[in-house]
Structure 1
Amino acid sequence: MLLNIILLLIGFVVLIFGATKLVDAASSLAARLGVPSIVIGLTIVAFGTSAPELVVNVFAATTGSTEMVLGNVLGSNIFNVLGILGISAIIYPLTVKTNTTWLEIPLSLLAAIAVFIVAADVLLDGTAPNIITRSDALTLLLFFLIFLVYNLMVAKGNTDEEMISTENYTVGKAVLFIILGLAGLILGGRLIVINAVNIAEVIGLSERVIGLTVVSIGTSLPELATSIIAVRKKNVDIAIGNVVGSNIFNIFLILGISGSIMPLHIAEATFFDILINILAGFLLFIFVFTGKGRQLERWEGIVLVTLYVAYLIYLLT
């Protein structure tokens, strides 16, 4: 048990280190090749922050741990909104831009609802079992492509977009760090999945609960760090955009890829988590319009964090 916990923690460190090095090296190489800064930000950097969830889910899907696949995606999204945005808003109120208010936040809510639609076969179609099929997963990936094109079009028309800061690596060094980053992702992801499953078996918790708590929080650490740093620097657009974008990536891209690898059977208990994810997205949208204009205030952040703590207590008791 102790060894599993140590290896799990090592897995998180190696996974996040690998993702960071991969993003830094790939961004540096892309900049040397003349790729526009905004394209680097919307592709390499955005993919990099979701890489931990993606790698863990690929390993979980290939080993048949489908409860962990869904637990990691749903847990990450719930933690992103209730935990990360809640903490960020408590530190400093978050002002939300018009595009984020009317397009990205509603799209993240749509993504949460889409999970319910593709999962609820018994309720909606009268057929059993509840399962996210490969065709469902491919549909999610098509939505991701639409979101990616939308982002690129918005960025193209935004002449005030800030430059993305990149490391100044030589080509050889960048390639080396890309290889090391990928190796870190693979090793860390494998350590996390294997040891999380072992811990779940020892302490009697389901893979779903381990995925919703330990694994999802661990893989969301890059988003947590990015948002807190951004808020402390008063870059509130980055804080909220980082979380909303990650939620969309998690469902359309990561769940789409995971379901394409192996159809995902949905346990009855998972529908509670799906509904909590929808509730979190709905609260975020509503809170933007309460209080002082398009802003997530401190009291709203406290509400979000309180709800997340209550959700964790429910899962673990």
Structure 2
Amino acid sequence: MNIDYMIFAFLLIILILSGALTTRSISKISLYLKLGHFAAGFIIMAIATSVPELVISITSAIEKIPELSLGTVLGSNVVNLSLVIGTATLIAGEINFKSNKIKKELTYPFFIALLPIILASDGILSRIDGIILIIIFITYFTLVFKRSDFEEEEDVVSKKQFIKNLIFFSLGLMALLISAKYLVDYTSIIASDIGIPVFLIGIILISFGTSLPELTFETISLLHGYKILAVGDLMGSTLSNSTLILGTVSIINPISIPDYSEFQIVSIFFIILISIFSLYLRSKSGLTRLRALLMIIIYIIFLLLTGFNMN
């Protein structure tokens, strides 16, 4: 038992250190590629941290249970827009941008993530729906890649520094994903030992576990003052989940919705969180610690309602 707690603490330290390494490395990589922090967070880090969801979803499609991917993706998006960004803001401080143009640019793309909910309103995400989602993913990510960043960078990164930071980023990302996976495993062991109900273990681990890389990356990004990097990762992860992952899975195997009531609960909370987060981001005071606390409370309510619905 004591060994489990020691391993858990060790994995947590690895998670934090790897998060710091990836954050610092990606900042230099974005400068060399002239991507800027927003595009780097949106494209590179967001896709990288979506690997757990992608692996789970493709596996579920191949195993003929594609509906699992829909729950995983929507659940992860709810966690990202509540627990992840809320916790990161509580730890690192508020997220606020002075420019109204930046505020608009950072909020409206989140609503693209609602498209799977609209497409699945007939009870299924078909292969045609999947193709639509993939086209939207490619189109929007291409636009982000081509555009200049909101914040101009004056530093110059040499090719040698770029290669070094690319290696550090790769190592940090591997450590981040591996430590997150095993941290979930040991959390399950500890949770079982202290008697947490099985349904709570499942909901908490699936949603929180696959979002650990985002939580670590966004918290450390905010601690280093990289607000756009953190929001770029949040936006990119949300859009990747809703378009790339669900699009790929529905093309492999169309996703039917076996229990529409559970789908409605997740969808309603997702819509509420996107609306609230966008409203906060566009306000003068931005996302404060008090508002971040409200996002976390919404996540707790989501857990309770989902748990009651399963009983």
TM-score (structure 2 length as normaliser)? 0.71
Cα 1:118–1:288 shift into 2, 3 Å: same
Identity over aligned residues, as a percent? Answer: 22
In 1, distance between residues paired with 2:58 and 2:102? Answer: 29
Q: Give 1:239's aligned residue.
A: 230
2:120 corresponding residue in structure 1: 119
Measured in 1, the distance between the counterparts of 2:154 and 2:50 equals: 22
Match for residue 109 of structure 1?
111
The structural deviation recorded for 1:118 is 0.4
Please report how far the alpha carbon of residue 243 of structure 1 lies from its aligned counterpart in structure 2 after TM superposition. Answer: 1.0
What residue identity is the alignment partner of 1:285? Answer: S
Q: Which residue of 2 aligns with 1:63?
A: 63
Of 234, 248, 251, the residue aligned with 2:239 is: 248
Q: Which of the numbers 214, 217, 242 marks the counterpart of 1:223?
A: 214
Aligned to 1:279: 272
Equivalent residue runs for 1:195-214 within 5 Å: 210=202, 213-214=204-205
Q: Distance in 2 between matches of 1:250 and 1:89?
A: 22
Code of the residue aligned with 1:102 in structure 2: it is K
How many residues are paired up? Answer: 268
Q: Cα RMSD between the aligned structures?
A: 4.0
Q: Which of 18, 25, 33 does residue 36 from structure 1 map onto?
A: 33
Shift of 1:304: 0.7
* Amino acid of the structure 2 residue aligned with 1:248: L
The alpha-carbon deviation at position 163 of structure 1 amounts to 7.3
C-alpha separation between the residues in 2 aligned to 1:226 and 1:80? Answer: 12
Q: Which runs of 5+ in 1 are unaligned?
A: 1-5, 122-129
Change (3 A) 1:43 1:87: closer
Quick one: structure 1 residues 118 and 213, their matched pair in 2 at CA, closer, same or farther if it must change by over 3 Å? farther
Q: State whether residues 86 and 302 of structure 1, in contact with CA within 8 Å, keep that contact through their aligned partners in structure 2.
A: yes
Secondary structure of the residue that 2:153 maps to in structure 1?
A: coil
Any conservation in 1 of the 2:95–2:281 contact (CA below 8 Å)? Answer: no
* Partner secondary structure for residue 35 of structure 2: helix
**Which residue of the partner structure matches residue 95 of structure 1?**
96
| Partner SS, residue 296 of structure 1 | coil
Contact 1:82–1:308 at 8 Å: present in 2 too?
A: yes
Whether 1:133 aligns to 2:129 is: no
1:38–1:161 contact (8 Å) kept in structure 2: no
Residue identity matched to 1:145: I
Within 2, Cα distance between the matches of 1:247 and 1:279?
14
Alpha-carbon displacement from aligned partner over 1:119-146 (angstroms, at most 9, x marks no partner): 011xxxxxxxx10001101101111112
Query: 2:301 matched to which residue of 1?
Result: 310
CA distance in 2, matches of 1:234, 1:253: 29
- The AA in structure 2 aligned to 1:47 is I
For residue 88 of structure 2, what is the amino acid of its counterpart? S
Structure 1 distance, partners of 2:208, 2:64, is 21
Normalization by structure 1: what TM-score?
0.69
Contact 2:112 2:239 in 1 (8 A): no
Q: Deviations over 1:174-215 (max 9, x none)?
A: 9x97xx96xx88xx79x99xx9xxx9xxx8859xx94x5422
Cα distance change, pair 100–248 in 1 and its aligned pair in 2 (3 A): farther
Provide structure 2 residue ranges, at least 5 long, that are not aligned to the other structure: none
Q: Kindly state the Cα deviation for residue 98 of structure 1 after the two structures are TM-superposed.
A: 4.4
Cα separation, partners in 2 of 1:279 and 1:62, compared to 1, 3 Å: same
**8 Å CA contact retained: 1:75, 1:213:** no
Partner of 2:287: 296
Q: Which position in structure 2 is the counterpart of 1:127?
A: none
* 1:254-284 Cα deviation digits (max 9, x unpaired): 1111111110011312122112111110111
Q: Distance in 2 between matches of 1:77 and 1:241?
A: 14
Are residue 168 (structure 1) and residue 168 (structure 2) matched? no
Q: 1:243 to 1:161 in 2, by over 3 A?
A: farther
**1:307/1:264 CA distance change after superposition, 3 Å:** same
> Aligned with 1:160: secondary structure?
coil
